[in-house]
Amino acid sequence: MDKQRNLGGDGYIELKKRKKQIVAGFVSAQTGITLIALVITIILLIILAGIGIQLSIGQRGILQVAQQAGEEHKKAQVKEELELKIRNLEIEKKEDITFKDIANRYKEEGIDVTIEEEDCLEGEYKNYEFIVEANKNVIIGERVEGERPKVLLTGTTMDNTNGKIKIHIVAGEEIQTIEPINEGTLVSENGNNNKIFEVSGKGTYQFKVVGINGRVTVAKVKVDDGEMVEGESLLDGISKVKSSTTKKIKIEENAKEYTINTIYYEGNIILDGKIPMVGATLNSNTYEFGDVTDVATQSQEAKNMIILKVNGNLTINNGVGVTACKSSEGYGGPKGLMIYCTGTFTNNGSVSMTARGAKATGEDVYLWRNEDDSFEYIPAKGANGGSAVTLNSGNDWALQPGNNGANGSMRRTGGGGSGGAEVKLYSPNNITSGRGGNGTSYSGGSGGGSGSHWYVSGVYKKYARFCWFRYWWPCRF
């Protein structure tokens, strides 16, 4: 207190200010050093973190290396399991095994075999693709993810004009491509998922369907040597048809053979009037099944009955028609069209055989056999045609309509109507029309030709001229 007093009031105040300035300067210096250290520390931590992340998840990072090691280990396990199954099969057989033996063993144990050849095998196991080479060594491919593409429909038909088989493959929409594995020439396509191929003959044909995710499904189509099928009725025979190459159905008890052109489909069909189908020509929303080899010519009768067999559901969309082919020269259609559907047949369109009667000798067509061993059949002879009409001589300006044919009953086809008779101006002779044709099992009766006469001479020639100039009738003489 004495010192403070000795300094005086102003001196004491000045001393306190100096102390505060010294302390503030010291604190400011300390704060500056601390901030610099903090910034340096953060920078060092970021660098160290980057190095750590790079070591952990980079291309050669710890995590990446660990994942790759785990993946290789899984592949090695899959390879070992597949090869062990082959070794066990060899021990059991005690002889050389074929790829067919390996494929069968794999299938028995739930392993998916996608491609099966005489010297190679491909498939999927535990989400890995694999190939079995000729030396029975197993190569493991990449891991596959997602669903495999779906094959919706396969169809076959014999192209009788060149003896080759056409194969139709329809897959789901999420498709990259459809490619033949062993044989097949592309003849038409409607997008990536709808293609028609041509092959040389009987055999098992494989087609690789590749999805957009890279997964593969193989469509297998078997074309048998189906020259002849035996059955107790036509429907029984068709139930045994498994190939488009079937050409005859033999009814043993009745000693009947029916020649057929089989169009065979596996899967569900929707006829929409837009997408072509093998075995049919698409004209204005109407599918015409069969081809020129099935119908008659001037010198030959119609050859085949058309069989459309669908092992699945069949839907005909609204506004879409189904019929058989016909001769471009006016000789009618084939020996009928039969649709055989093992699933549900939904007809929102139309099925018609109008103007498709065959030029062919009728025969009893045994459809099916009843429990009492009797048959439901289409008789060889249908209803009678209409009788001819006649206009007697001396008539002028007369018209006599033709007679209707008899209606069909008990599965008989109807008879054709007769032609009419007509006289213009005068006829010195009787005029008779053609009678209607009788129906057959393959056609309704044809219509009879009309009878007409235009007689002009003497007085009638002058009368005809009068008609022409006064009434503008088209008189000819």
Q: Which amino acid is at 284?
A: S
Q: Which residue has the tokens 């593409």?
A: 149
Alpha carbon distances (Å) from 11 to 2, 21, 458: 13, 16, 168
Give, in words, the CATH class of 151-223.
mainly beta
| Residue 435 DSSP class | P
Residues in CB range of 225: below 8 A, 6 or more apart = 202, 243, 245
d(CA 49, CA 204): 61
pLDDT of 184: 92
Backbone φ/ψ region at 249: left (φ over 0), alpha (ψ -120 to 50), beta: beta
Global pTM?
A: 0.70
pLDDT of 472: 39
Residues in CB range of 147: below 8 A, 6 or more apart = 211, 213, 215
d(CA 31, CA 261): 100
pLDDT of 48: 76
Q: Which amino acid is at 91?
A: I
Residue-level pLDDT, tens digit, the chain, 477 residues: 444 445 455 555 665 556 555 555 544 555 555 777 777 888 878 877 776 666 555 555 566 677 778 888 898 999 999 999 999 998 888 778 888 899 889 988 888 887 777 778 888 888 888 999 888 899 998 888 888 888 988 989 888 778 889 999 999 877 899 999 888 999 999 888 999 999 988 888 989 998 888 888 888 898 887 788 899 999 999 999 888 887 899 987 778 899 999 999 999 999 999 988 999 999 999 999 999 999 999 999 999 999 999 999 999 999 999 999 999 999 999 999 999 999 999 999 999 999 999 999 999 999 999 999 899 999 999 999 989 888 776 666 678 888 999 998 988 999 988 888 777 655 567 778 889 899 999 999 888 777 665 554 444 444 444 443 333 344 443
Q: By the 8 A CB rule, do 228 and 274 touch?
A: no
Q: What are the structural domain ranges in the chain?
A: 2-57, 63-143, 151-223, 228-378, 382-477
Phi and psi at residue 172, to the nearest 5°: -65, 175
Alpha carbon distances (Å) from 219 to 11, 209, 340: 109, 7, 23
Q: Please state whether beta strands 121-125 and 112-116 pair in parallel, antiparallel, or not at all (unpaired).
A: antiparallel
